[in-house]
Amino acid sequence: MEKPQLGMHSPRILVIDDNSELRESLVEVLRGHGCAVVEACDGSEGLKLLRCQKKKIDLVVLDLMMPIMNGATFRWHQRSDPSIAKVPVLVLSSVQDGEKSARVLGAAGYLPKPVDPEELMAAVKRFTS
Protein backbone atom coordinates (compact mmCIF):
# COMPACT_ATOMS: atom_id res chain seq x y z
CA MET A 1 0.00 0.00 0.00
CA GLU A 2 1.37 3.41 -0.96
CA LYS A 3 1.46 5.88 1.93
CA PRO A 4 -0.60 9.01 1.23
CA GLN A 5 1.31 12.24 1.66
CA LEU A 6 0.01 14.02 4.75
CA GLY A 7 1.53 17.45 4.20
CA MET A 8 4.44 19.27 5.77
CA HIS A 9 3.68 18.41 9.40
CA SER A 10 2.84 15.16 11.12
CA PRO A 11 -0.83 15.29 12.08
CA ARG A 12 -1.52 14.76 15.78
CA ILE A 13 -4.33 12.25 16.16
CA LEU A 14 -6.25 11.31 19.32
CA VAL A 15 -7.65 7.77 19.06
CA ILE A 16 -10.46 6.99 21.52
CA ASP A 17 -11.65 3.37 21.58
CA ASP A 18 -12.27 0.91 24.41
CA ASN A 19 -11.24 -2.11 22.31
CA SER A 20 -7.50 -2.29 23.00
CA GLU A 21 -6.73 -4.55 20.02
CA LEU A 22 -8.51 -2.27 17.57
CA ARG A 23 -7.01 0.85 19.17
CA GLU A 24 -3.51 -0.62 18.91
CA SER A 25 -4.02 -1.52 15.24
CA LEU A 26 -5.30 2.00 14.48
CA VAL A 27 -2.32 3.51 16.29
CA GLU A 28 0.06 1.24 14.36
CA VAL A 29 -1.42 2.26 11.00
CA LEU A 30 -1.41 5.97 11.88
CA ARG A 31 2.16 5.96 13.23
CA GLY A 32 3.26 3.92 10.22
CA HIS A 33 2.08 6.81 8.04
CA GLY A 34 3.91 9.44 10.06
CA CYS A 35 1.17 10.61 12.43
CA ALA A 36 1.81 11.49 16.05
CA VAL A 37 -0.79 9.56 18.07
CA VAL A 38 -2.24 9.90 21.55
CA GLU A 39 -4.66 7.20 22.71
CA ALA A 40 -7.49 6.87 25.21
CA CYS A 41 -9.69 3.94 26.27
CA ASP A 42 -12.91 5.91 26.79
CA GLY A 43 -14.46 9.32 26.20
CA SER A 44 -13.65 10.66 29.67
CA GLU A 45 -9.94 9.93 29.29
CA GLY A 46 -10.05 11.25 25.72
CA LEU A 47 -11.64 14.52 26.83
CA LYS A 48 -8.93 15.04 29.46
CA LEU A 49 -6.19 14.34 26.90
CA LEU A 50 -7.77 16.63 24.31
CA ARG A 51 -7.93 19.48 26.82
CA CYS A 52 -4.40 19.08 28.23
CA GLN A 53 -2.24 18.44 25.14
CA LYS A 54 0.51 21.02 24.80
CA LYS A 55 0.51 20.53 21.02
CA LYS A 56 -2.78 20.90 19.21
CA ILE A 57 -4.69 17.74 18.29
CA ASP A 58 -5.56 17.84 14.57
CA LEU A 59 -8.15 15.05 14.54
CA VAL A 60 -10.05 12.82 16.96
CA VAL A 61 -10.79 9.25 15.86
CA LEU A 62 -13.77 8.28 18.04
CA ASP A 63 -15.63 5.06 18.77
CA LEU A 64 -19.33 5.50 19.63
CA MET A 65 -19.96 2.57 21.97
CA MET A 66 -17.72 2.72 25.07
CA PRO A 67 -18.14 2.33 28.83
CA ILE A 68 -17.64 5.23 31.28
CA MET A 69 -18.23 7.91 28.60
CA ASN A 70 -19.52 6.99 25.15
CA GLY A 71 -18.83 8.84 21.92
CA ALA A 72 -22.07 10.87 21.99
CA THR A 73 -21.35 12.19 25.48
CA PHE A 74 -17.74 12.94 24.51
CA ARG A 75 -19.03 14.98 21.53
CA TRP A 76 -21.49 16.88 23.74
CA HIS A 77 -18.67 17.90 26.10
CA GLN A 78 -16.31 18.67 23.23
CA ARG A 79 -18.82 20.87 21.39
CA SER A 80 -19.60 22.70 24.67
CA ASP A 81 -15.95 23.69 25.21
CA PRO A 82 -14.82 26.50 22.85
CA SER A 83 -11.14 25.58 23.33
CA ILE A 84 -11.64 22.15 21.71
CA ALA A 85 -14.96 22.43 19.86
CA LYS A 86 -13.42 22.90 16.42
CA VAL A 87 -11.19 19.81 16.47
CA PRO A 88 -12.65 17.56 13.74
CA VAL A 89 -13.92 14.12 14.71
CA LEU A 90 -13.90 10.95 12.62
CA VAL A 91 -16.42 8.48 14.04
CA LEU A 92 -15.74 4.74 13.81
CA SER A 93 -18.54 2.34 14.61
CA SER A 94 -19.98 -1.07 13.95
CA VAL A 95 -23.55 -0.04 14.85
CA GLN A 96 -26.13 -0.24 12.09
CA ASP A 97 -26.92 3.49 11.99
CA GLY A 98 -23.34 4.62 12.63
CA GLU A 99 -23.22 7.02 9.70
CA LYS A 100 -26.49 8.66 10.75
CA SER A 101 -25.25 8.91 14.35
CA ALA A 102 -22.04 10.55 13.14
CA ARG A 103 -24.05 13.18 11.23
CA VAL A 104 -26.29 13.85 14.25
CA LEU A 105 -23.17 14.33 16.38
CA GLY A 106 -21.72 16.81 13.89
CA ALA A 107 -18.72 14.61 13.12
CA ALA A 108 -16.52 15.49 10.17
CA GLY A 109 -16.72 11.92 8.90
CA TYR A 110 -17.58 8.30 9.51
CA LEU A 111 -15.95 4.94 8.81
CA PRO A 112 -17.52 1.55 9.53
CA LYS A 113 -15.71 -1.07 11.60
CA PRO A 114 -13.70 -3.02 10.73
CA VAL A 115 -11.72 -0.05 9.48
CA ASP A 116 -9.94 -0.25 6.14
CA PRO A 117 -6.43 1.24 6.62
CA GLU A 118 -6.50 2.98 3.22
CA GLU A 119 -9.86 4.59 3.97
CA LEU A 120 -8.58 5.64 7.39
CA MET A 121 -5.53 7.34 5.91
CA ALA A 122 -7.59 9.01 3.17
CA ALA A 123 -9.88 10.43 5.87
CA VAL A 124 -6.93 11.59 7.98
CA LYS A 125 -5.50 13.38 4.96
CA ARG A 126 -8.86 14.97 4.15
CA PHE A 127 -9.51 16.22 7.69
CA THR A 128 -5.98 17.36 8.57
CA SER A 129 -5.00 19.16 5.35
- Confidence band for 1, pLDDT divided at 50, 70 and 90: very low
pLDDT in tens, 61-113: 999 999 999 999 999 999 999 999 999 999 999 988 999 999 999 999 999 99
Length of the chain, in residues: 129
What's the pLDDT score for residue 7?
Answer: 55
Torsion of Cα atoms, 125 then 101 then 66 then 23, to 10°: -20
Distance between CA 13 and CA 33 in Å, rounded?
12
- In terms of Cβ atoms closer than 10 Å to its own Cβ (0-12, 13-18, 19+), residue 96 is exposed
Judged against a pLDDT cut of 50, whether residue 2 lies above it is answered with no
Domains (ranges, CATH) in the chain? 12-128 (3.40.50.2300)
- Asked if the model's pLDDT at residue 44 lies above 50, the reply is yes
Q: Looking at residues 23-42, what average pLDDT do you find?
A: 97
